[in-house]
Amino acid sequence: MSKVKKEEKPNFPSLPKSQTGITGLDEITGGGLPQGRPTLICGEAGCGKTLMSLEFIVRGATEFNEPGIFMAFEEKAEELAMNVASLGFDLNKLQTDNMVKIDHVHIDRSEIEETGEYDLEGLFIRLGYSIDSIGAKRVVLDTLENLFSGLTDQTILRAELRRLFNFLKSKGVTAIITGEKGEGPSLTRQGLEEYVSDCVILLDHRVINQISTRRLRVIKYRGSQHGTNEYPFLIDEDGISVLPVTSLKLGKDVSSQRVSSGIPALDSMLGGHGFFKGSSILVSGTAGTGKTSIAAYFANETCNGGKRCLYFAFEESPKQIIRNMKSINVDMQKHVDNNLLQFYASRPTLYGLEMHLVAIYKLIKRFKPAAVILDPITNLITVGSVSEVKSMLIRLIDFLQEEQITVMFTALTLNTIISDQTDEGVSSLVDAWLLVRDIEYNGERNRGMYIMKSRGMKHSNQVREFVITDNGLDLVDVYLGPEGVLTGSAREAEKLKEKTGLALRDFAVSRKDKEIMRKRMMLESKINSLKAEFESVEDELNKIYLEEELKQQIIEKNREEITRMRRGTTGADKNKS
């Protein structure tokens, strides 16, 4: 069977694009706005159209060396310069350097007469002169409604609109035209601009439950792929930031490197080495079980290793956390002073969920931490539903995994019933889940900790007593008494009881040993006495035996002497013979 050869696609030229320099927008659009073509940015009042288009001009001049023209039909140059000064944009200097030109065009409806001879020729001449004077590569017209406010004839309007777009294309400039959102499904008031634009971006400003969120969506982009979702964006002191975080792909790299939790006993429960780098950890439990302390220990351990940690606090202020952690022997202030630890504290109601995600994204990109802590995520439910919080956290986890940043969430358990899911519904998403709970026994409350799950590593299945003292956090070894696992004072009482029993046993053993020693000495004394008596008897017996033997020898000698005497021989004769 012959193999089917994969057909290679020819390398066609791609659409040239002009980078906006706006954080996140270039990623969504795949490189920026169509170069040399007009783009329509539309939306309701207050959604950020003017600011986005002005930032496009400023970023072009400062980051890409592309001069730009901002033709305003509403605000004057001084007003625009004042409005964007808080974002760090010095429009006056850019105008002095001939990198930006702000051209305010005043249009009075009463001066516009709708006649067959009305056209935009004057505007083209003025705009063409401005473009040529500084060699502009970028142009913004803000807003189009003012330019056509006096025209009601759709035929004239359509013709002039096409002429305007063709003029901009003929000048080869990358243009942004802002337009107000029309009624109903129409993107603009005239309902024509979106059809003649090569790219259309819709901005939206929603207020739900008194929480406002700005969102952006690329409606249309001729000749290019682009993100089609709604993306939240933030306007702050750095300008506009769009969050292009999605959860569509699961092709992220993973690490086998381990990071310590800061609690040696907990590391031992996790196979001896702690969590995986870049993993997500959830610490959940009822109020007062020490979740924040565990998170602070993890932050402290990260900073002790010379790495950065970003701490998002949604309940306590940084000073509160630093003060409280000192009571358990954790000095977080020194890490703040060394720029290893940074706090970001706010009430969840400050922003909507998406805006929080954008703010977190921006801070992480700026601070570049090795570990991130969110304490607690439960409070986010006050600004969104459970499904919205889950969606937001999924995207945050995906983003952090992409950046290989270890994240620890704390979550308040609102009920004491242990279930396989937290109130935020994120326990299935995280890699490790630590559960801290109260153990009520013998009239007191103690803390117990166990590992609900830890993906990719063997871990302890035991419930350990979690103690917080002036010296810090620790997990006490499991103590099995006669009635099962004991905690707190019951454990200490049982230990003392055991210790007392041991001492009594030692004392009893000691007494027995002495008694045995005494008995041994007595027996040995008796044995020695008997031995001496035996030797005495033995000597006596030996004495009788020797005397008898000597007596026998003398008798024998005497008998021989008598025998010789009877024979007439003496002892001297005997010697002669």
Q: Is the pLDDT of residue 74 over 80?
A: yes
Query: What percentage of the chain carries pLDDT values higher than 90?
Result: 23
DSSP 8-state assignment for residue 98: T
Residue 432 vs residues 176, 390, 424, 437, 534: alpha-carbon distances, Å: 47, 17, 15, 16, 84
DSSP 8-state assignment for residue 311: E
* Phi–psi pair at 186, nearest 5 degrees: -65, 135
Q: Is the pLDDT of residue 104 over 90?
A: no
Residue 457 vs residues 14, 104, 259, 299, 341: alpha-carbon distances, Å: 46, 65, 13, 22, 29
Helix axes 77-85, 49-63, angle to 10 degrees: 80
pLDDT value of residue 574: 52
Give me the amino acid identity at 355: M
Q: Is the pLDDT of residue 416 over 60?
A: no
Q: Is the pLDDT of residue 548 over 80?
A: yes
Average predicted confidence (pLDDT) for the chain: 83
Confidence of residue 2 (pLDDT cuts 50, 70, 90): very low
Q: Is the pLDDT of residue 421 over 60?
A: no
Q: Specify which of 269-273, 278-282, 459-463, 476-480 reaches the highest per-range mean pLDDT.
A: 278-282
The residue count of the chain comes to 577
Count the neighbouring beta carbons within 10 Å of the beta carbon of residue 35.
Answer: 16
Nearest to 46, CA basis, from 200, 222, 205, 246: 205
Q: Specify which of 248-257, 471-480, 496-505 reaches the highest per-range mean pLDDT.
A: 496-505
Confidence of residue 554 (pLDDT cuts 50, 70, 90): very high
Q: Is the pLDDT of residue 47 over 50?
A: yes
Q: Please state, in angstroms and rounded to a whole number, the distance separating the CA atoms of residues 431 and 453.
A: 7
pLDDT value of residue 109: 59
Lowest mean pLDDT among 262-276, 373-387, 421-435: 421-435
* Phi–psi pair at 240, nearest 5 degrees: -100, 135
Q: Is the pLDDT of residue 108 over 70?
A: no
Question: What residues act catalytically?
Answer: 74, 315
Q: Is the pLDDT of residue 502 over 80?
A: yes
Angle at 283 between CA 280 and CA 289, to 5 degrees: 165
Confidence of residue 321 (pLDDT cuts 50, 70, 90): very high
Confidence of residue 294 (pLDDT cuts 50, 70, 90): very high
Three-state secondary structure along 15-79?
CCEECCCCECHHHHCCCCEECCCEEEEEECCCCCHHHHHHHHHHHHHHHCCCCEEEEECCCCHHH
pLDDT value of residue 425: 66
State whether residue 218 is helix, strand or coil. strand
Structure tokens at 61: 């001049």
How buried is residue 30: exposed, middle or buried, by Cβ count under 10 Å (0-12/13-18/19+)?
A: middle
Confidence of residue 499 (pLDDT cuts 50, 70, 90): confident
Beta strands in 256-305 (DSSP E): 258-259, 275-276, 280-285
Confidence of residue 424 (pLDDT cuts 50, 70, 90): low
Which helix (H) or strand (E) is 520 found in, with range? helix 488-566
Structure tokens at 53: 């288009």
Which helix (H) or strand (E) is 133 found in, with range? helix 121-134
pLDDT value of residue 4: 46
pLDDT value of residue 111: 57
Confidence of residue 368 (pLDDT cuts 50, 70, 90): very high
pLDDT value of residue 117: 54
For the stretch 177-202, pLDDT in tens is 898 877 777 777 777 777 778 899 99
How buried is residue 362: exposed, middle or buried, by Cβ count under 10 Å (0-12/13-18/19+)?
A: middle
State whether residue 203 is helix, strand or coil. strand
pLDDT value of residue 186: 73
Confidence of residue 393 (pLDDT cuts 50, 70, 90): confident
Count the neighbouring beta carbons within 10 Å of the beta carbon of residue 406.
Answer: 27
Q: Is the pLDDT of residue 323 over 60?
A: yes
Nearest to 235, CA basis, from 85, 51, 380, 89: 51
Confidence of residue 532 (pLDDT cuts 50, 70, 90): very high
Q: Evaluate whether 446 touches 460 at the Cβ level (below 8 Å).
A: no
Q: Please state, in angstroms and rounded to a whole number, the distance separating the CA atoms of residues 554 and 404.
A: 118
Average pLDDT estimate for 362-366? 87
239-242 vs 231-236, strand pairing mode? antiparallel
Give me the amino acid identity at 345: A
Q: Please state, in angstroms and rounded to a whole number, the distance separating the CA atoms of residues 220 and 201.
A: 7
Average pLDDT estimate for 475-496? 73
Q: Evaluate whether 175 touches 39 at the Cβ level (below 8 Å).
A: yes
Count the neighbouring beta carbons within 10 Å of the beta carbon of residue 563.
Answer: 10
- Report the C-alpha dihedral over residues 543, 547, 548, 549, rounded to 10 degrees: 100
Structure tokens at 417: 């019933």
Q: Please state, in angstroms and rounded to a whole number, the distance separating the CA atoms of residues 464 and 475.
A: 6
Q: Is the pLDDT of residue 1 over 50?
A: no
Check residue 298 and give left, alpha or beta (phi > 0: left; psi -120 to 50: alpha).
alpha
* Phi–psi pair at 170, nearest 5 degrees: -65, -25
Q: Specify which of 155-159, 163-167, 173-177, 486-490 reaches the highest per-range mean pLDDT.
A: 173-177
Confidence of residue 3 (pLDDT cuts 50, 70, 90): very low
| 317: CB partners within 8 A, 6+ apart | 345
For the stretch 111-156, pLDDT in tens is 555 555 556 778 888 888 989 999 999 999 988 777 776 666 777 7
All structural domains of the chain, each given as residue ranges with its CATH number in brackets, are 17-242 (3.40.50.300), 258-477 (3.40.50.300)
Q: Is the pLDDT of residue 550 over 80?
A: yes
Average pLDDT estimate for 20-32? 85
| 37: CB partners within 8 A, 6+ apart | 168, 169, 174, 175, 198, 199, 222
Number of H helices, E strands in the chain: 16, 24
Q: Evaluate whether 219 touches 200 at the Cβ level (below 8 Å).
A: yes
Q: Is the pLDDT of residue 6 over 70?
A: no
Structure tokens at 332: 């977080």
